[in-house]
């Protein structure tokens, strides 16, 4: 295993393992595992605490993917960028700093997208904004941005890179399926905490 590959894996996983949602939730005196759908990620933190308190989680989780991807690019180009983003996503799903109890890595993937294909990420961001403007529904806007990203990549990147993106997205799908099978991410168990 090359030094670059090893560093991409280690640094990406370490970044992904930073439990931003847990830190923010604890600062506000709540256990994110026991509220909402129990998922320690940006969306559940938003559902529980509101955007005014949860925005650092969106930023922090996104930065984990972005920084991992940029470090991968510096270490060895696009291939190691994908490795580092994948490692960050796995770190978010199975964080060593939080007893390996993590989220689904959607926001970490979104941040990494800006390192993997900046033009496609910007188009996805615009599509997300336009969807929100029309529907006024943040969840649908986010879905358009996330799931639209590989489609937009087709206009900028080779097919192999788009397939690599699909492999990254499969981590999200697999994490969601495993969580559902274990009975996590059930309907919300409590009302949002504090004002939004």
Q: What number is the average pLDDT over the span 102-121?
A: 96
Q: pLDDT tens-digit profile of 129-142?
A: 999 999 988 889 99
Query: Which three-class secondary structure string do you get for the chain?
Result: CCHHHHHHHHHHHHHHCCCHHHHHHHHCCCCHHHCCCCCCCHHHHHHHHCHHHHHHHHHHHHHHHHHHHHHHHHHHCHHHHHHHHHHHHHHHHCCHHHCCCCCCCHHHHHHHHHHHCHHHHHHHHHHHHHHHHHHCCHHHHHHHHHHHHHHHHCCCCCHHHHHHHHHHHHHHHHHHHHHHHCCCCCCCCCCCCCCC
Q: pLDDT tens-digit profile of 54-90?
A: 999 999 999 999 999 999 999 999 999 999 999 999 9
Give the whole-angstrom CA distance, residue 19 versus residue 98: 7
Give the whole-angstrom CA distance, residue 41 versus residue 22: 8
Q: What number is the average pLDDT over the span 110-121?
A: 97
Residue 164: pLDDT band by 50, 70, 90 thresholds? Answer: very high
- Lowest-pLDDT choice from 51-55, 64-68, 106-110, 114-118: 51-55
Q: Judge if pTM exceeds 0.85.
A: yes
Q: What number is the average pLDDT over the span 29-34?
A: 92
Give the CA count within 13 Å in the CB-facing half-sphere of 65: 28
Asked whether residue 191 carries a pLDDT value surpassing 60, the answer given is no
Contact 22, 40 (CB under 8 A): yes
The owner of tokens 């696009």 is 78
**pLDDT for res 137:** 87
**pLDDT for res 1:** 58
**pLDDT for res 180:** 74
Asked whether residue 112 carries a pLDDT value surpassing 80, the answer given is yes
Residue 13: pLDDT band by 50, 70, 90 thresholds? Answer: very high
């Amino acid at each position: 295993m090359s030094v670059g590959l090893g560093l991409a894996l280690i640094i990406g996983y370490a970044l992904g393992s930073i439990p931003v949602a847990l830190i923010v939730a604890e600062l506000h005196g709540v256990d994110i595992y026991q509220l909402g759908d129990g998922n320690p990620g940006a969306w559940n933190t938003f559902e529980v605490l509101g955007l005014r308190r949860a925005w650092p989680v969106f930023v922090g989780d996104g930065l984990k993917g972005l920084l991992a991807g940029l470090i991968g690019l510096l270490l060895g180009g696009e291939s190691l960028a994908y490795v580092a983003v994948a490692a960050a996503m796995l770190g978010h799903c199975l964080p060593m700093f939080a007893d390996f109890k993590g989220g689904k890595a959607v926001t970490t993937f979104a941040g990494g997208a800006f390192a993997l294909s900046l033009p496609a990420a910007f188009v996805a961001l615009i599509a997300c904004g336009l969807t929100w403007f029309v529907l006024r529904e943040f969840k649908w806007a986010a879905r358009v941005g996330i799931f639209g990203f590989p489609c937009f990549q087709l206009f900028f990147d080779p097919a192999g890179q788009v397939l690599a993106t699909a492999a990254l997205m499969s981590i999200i799908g697999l994490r969601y399926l495993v969580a559902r099978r274990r009975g996590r991410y059930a309907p919300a168990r409590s009302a949002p905490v504090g004002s939004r």
